[in-house]
Every structure is written in C-alpha cells, then in structure tokens.
Amino acid sequence: MAQERHSAGALVHDPERGELGHVMGHEGPYVQLRPVSGGREWDADPALVRLATDKERLRAMEERTRALNSSSSGGIL
C-alpha cells in the first residue's frame, strides 16, 4: 500500500504524540506538524499520521477558539 502524502494545511493526528497538528511541509523522511493552537513544529513519521476525524476537527476548532479568546483578553477567561 502506498503511503499517503498529506498536503500542507491538512489537519492530521500523530499517534506517537497523541496530538493533532497542521501539516506545514515535508522534510527528509518526516512530515512537519504544527499544533492547532500554534507553537513549535515537530517532526512526525508520515507512515503513522492520518487525517483527523470529524470529531477531532471539531475539538481542534474549539481549542483554537479558546486560544484566540484567551490571547485577545490578555489571558483572562
């Protein structure tokens, strides 16, 4: 079975970290992911990552909204 190469911007799940991330690019044998709420990228094994489910996408949108609300209120919720 051929390994799927996820496009930049795709929301994927990395089972090694148990986290969702947006695909930022591909470097060498790795796919580079960035956390949903922003932060430092990490390298993941492209053979293990998979597209996020609808439930995971909803959770990611909620997480992103919380982060944006927190930053716009000076960190006070």
Mean pLDDT for 53-63 is 92
CA distance 16 to 57: 18
CA distance 26 to 18: 20
Express each pLDDT in 8-57 by its tens digit: 999 999 999 999 999 999 999 999 999 988 899 999 999 999 999 999 99
> Domains of the chain: which residue ranges?
11-70
pLDDT given at position 3: 61
Task: Please give the DSSP secondary-structure letter assigned to residue 16.
Answer: T
CA distance 58 to 3: 26
pLDDT given at position 76: 60
